[in-house]
Structure 1
Amino acid sequence: MDFFETLLWPLRWVVEVLLVVWHQVFTYLGVPPESGVNWILSIIGLVIVVRSALIPVTVKQIKSQRRMLEMAPELKKIQAKYKGKTDQFSREAMSRESMALYKKHGTNPFSSCLPILLQMPIFFSLFYTLRTASENKPGVGMMTQELSSNFYQAEIFGAPLKMTFMQAWQDGPWQVLLLASILVILMISSQFFTQLQIVSKNISEETKSSPMYRQQKIMLYIIPFMFLFSGVAFPLGLNFYWFTSNLWTMAQQFIVIRSMPTPGSEAFRQRQERLQKRGKLTFEEVEAGKDQPTKPAGQRQQPVSKKRAKQQPKPGSAGNQKK
């Protein structure tokens, strides 16, 4: 084993346990142990366990992304304040003010990457597990020689789960090329739609004028195409894992945006309309209700008082003229 594989040995052991437990469950339900359907369902089960465990971290990441976008205008002011100043004192001052701003909003630049960073060791642990099984060798824990042989034989629609797009490009079969291409398209589409939900629905109008929003729009078109690499280089089994994980993220993002939208965003306005139709009143609506009457009232009283103020001297001046 190489150094990285040795480093991941404990996590790989846990991944094997989860994968084998799900495999045994579906075998008990009557799915043949050597079938590709059994192994794909087992991989989906692994995704469900992993992503369920990461729900608190993911929700924190979504909230952090929201705060980052909300604080973008303030961060822009700090950067403009020290623009063109390259001395050490100015750089340290800008860093201090930026960190104070992050602390004020309860976020940091790295928290939005946390779920992906936590998933990557699990992803590579599964990669090593499936690679060993693809060589028809036992794993480090519950992945016995018999189970490795089952995975070694597993196919779906004639495409072996152990093969990669590159291997099929050289030796075939064509089913692997077709299935891998479909998975790449689905992974790119699901990732793009997930990011699009945030950019189009869950960002306030004020934030849309910030540089951070423009950067996020650029990343909207760049990040999904990173799956081209995984779709070509990794086995079909791993691509099924990543596609299922993308579907989970997309559904989770939809639920979070629908239930906890950013104030001032399109999703927030849609949520208020839904709750108004149902006759439910939220804290945001109460505050909005308090603000809305006071503003029109102030606007009506001010012009009237000005008119009256202008009109009051006129009778006096007319009365003085009569006298």
Structure 2
Amino acid sequence: MIEAFVYPVSAVMKFWHWLLSGVFDVANSPAWVGAVTLLVVTIRAFIAPLTWLSYKTSRLVVIMRPKLAAIEREFGSDTTPEGVKKHEEARRQVHKEHRYNPFAGCFPALLQLPFFLGLYRLLLWMAVPESALGHSLGLLSPDEVTSFQQASFFGVPLPAYVSMTPEQFAHLGTTLDDVRSVALPMLACAVFFTTFNLILSQIRTRSTLEWDNKAARRIYRFVWLIVPLVPLIIGMAGLTGKVPVALLLYWFTGNLWTLAQTAVLWSLLVRVHPLDEDAREHILTSRETRFAQRRGAKEKKRSRRRRRASALLHPTTLPAVRRELAQEKAEEKRLRAEEKAEKKELARQRGAARKEANRRDRAEAAQRRAEKKAQME
């Protein structure tokens, strides 16, 4: 499946190399370096509208939250077919008002991924000599692949990578020191831009985070946990894996584009779709509520620690304190179980009501069709 996307990517790369070398008579090495850079720029520019659509969809979700929350408070506990129908109709009306499509945020990411994989796979095949095996890759002929493998960047062959054996360095006519002098600065830039883009994304996420959504909070915290691992993974891959100079050039160009694109699209987004007062108030209120809950939970833990410590100083009270703490924990567990059961029962009742509402809609539609048919006869 991924190999199929190598063809359109290779067509773009072939075009740029032909334009640079055939039309503008650029030398072999600069032509291939320019082709790789322009290939990344072309693909990213092509999918930029999809990225904008993803940004816009996420922004609309933030803007709609206060209205959707109000609808949830009004109809969320209604278990009648009429109430469920009004609930869904009110949500659809808000979506229609803001021209929101719930699927618009998913498709852009799914459509972008094959192009990224095709781009990465093509450069890896072309840059590592044993991967090409003298065959054509996509729309690139064997001669063009060989020409690419003979190109260099600042005097270092594009297929060269740091972890090659001495025999491989000798075969490409370069040395480890020469490869390091070019690869390490590019790897450092790729690590910096990737990490910075990830941190910037987290800052944007925090500014509009749905604090009362447990799943959203967990994802946000999880991404912060992997932020320190990202530079380690990329650095280890660049130093110990098959990451040729050509792929480092791809990483550098792609992450630089991402940084510039994020700055431009985010600045445009906040102007085209600014948050209204209700949306800002909703974010602030949900954040303060969440922080208050965290402070309460921490204070409860500190209180229990203090009581345990006090009981250790007065051993005669230790059994009573233990029973008291156990009762508190048991009560909290019971309340959580009851809350979970209530939510589950509410979801079951609303599901049954939704089925009944759909059944009534189908029956009414069938009756209208029958009436229309009888009138025609």
Q: Distance in 2 between matches of 1:192 and 1:125?
A: 23
> Alignment partner for residue 198 of structure 2, among 187, 192, 202?
192
Contact 1:15 1:122 in 2 (8 A): yes
Contact 1:12 1:126 in 2 (8 A): yes
Listed one character per residue, the Cα deviations across residues 38-69 of structure 1 (whole Å, up to 9, x for unaligned) are 32321221122222222321111001121233
Q: Distance in 2 between matches of 1:229 and 1:102?
A: 43
Distance 1:120-1:264 versus aligned 2 partners, 3 A rule: closer
> Alignment partner for residue 224 of structure 2, among 214, 221, 226?
221
1:184 partner amino acid = A
> Alignment partner for residue 249 of structure 2, among 234, 240, 244?
240
Which residue is 1:61 aligned to?
Answer: 54
Distance 1:163-1:226 versus aligned 2 partners, 3 A rule: farther
Listed one character per residue, the Cα deviations across residues 226-279 of structure 1 (whole Å, up to 9, x for unaligned) are 5765661543323432432332232222223323305348xxx9xxxxxxxxxx
> Alignment partner for residue 52 of structure 1, among 41, 45, 63?
45
2:60 is paired with a residue whose SS is helix
Listed one character per residue, the Cα deviations across residues 166-224 of structure 1 (whole Å, up to 9, x for unaligned) are 54799772535514532432332442354156247xx46xx574447745653663576
Contact 1:159 1:179 in 2 (8 A): no
2:140 is equivalent to residue 147 of structure 1: no
Give the CA deviation at 1:22.
0.9
Higher relative contact order (CA 8 A, sep 6+): 2
Contact 1:230 1:239 in 2 (8 A): no
2:141 is equivalent to residue 132 of structure 1: no
Q: Distance in 2 between matches of 1:163 and 1:98?
A: 60
1:19 partner amino acid = M
Structure-2-length-normalised TM-score: 0.51
* Identity %, equivalent residues: 24
Which residue is 2:20 aligned to?
Answer: 26
Q: Distance in 1 between matches of 2:122 and 2:44?
A: 19
Q: Distance in 2 between matches of 1:20 and 1:165?
A: 27
2:125 partner amino acid = T
Listed one character per residue, the Cα deviations across residues 152-177 of structure 1 (whole Å, up to 9, x for unaligned) are 12232454332455547997725355
Aligned CA RMSD, in angstroms, stands at 4.6
2:112 is equivalent to residue 119 of structure 1: yes
Q: Which structure 2 residue ranges, 5 or more long, are not aligned?
A: 78-83, 170-175, 281-377
Structure-1-length-normalised TM-score: 0.58
Q: Distance in 2 between matches of 1:227 and 1:169?
A: 27
Which residue is 2:268 aligned to?
Answer: 259
Which residue is 1:89 aligned to?
Answer: none
Contact 2:54 2:105 in 1 (8 A): yes
Aligned runs of 1:25-104 on 2, under 5 Å?
Answer: 25-27=19-21, 28-33=23-28, 35=29, 37-71=30-64, 103=95
Q: Distance in 1 between matches of 2:114 and 2:200?
A: 22
Count of residues paired in the alignment: 248
2:258 is paired with a residue whose SS is helix
Q: Distance in 1 between matches of 2:230 and 2:35?
A: 25
Q: Which structure 1 residue ranges, 5 or more long, are not aligned?
A: 84-91, 270-323
Distance 1:178-1:256 versus aligned 2 partners, 3 A rule: closer
Q: Distance in 2 between matches of 1:22 and 1:194?
A: 32
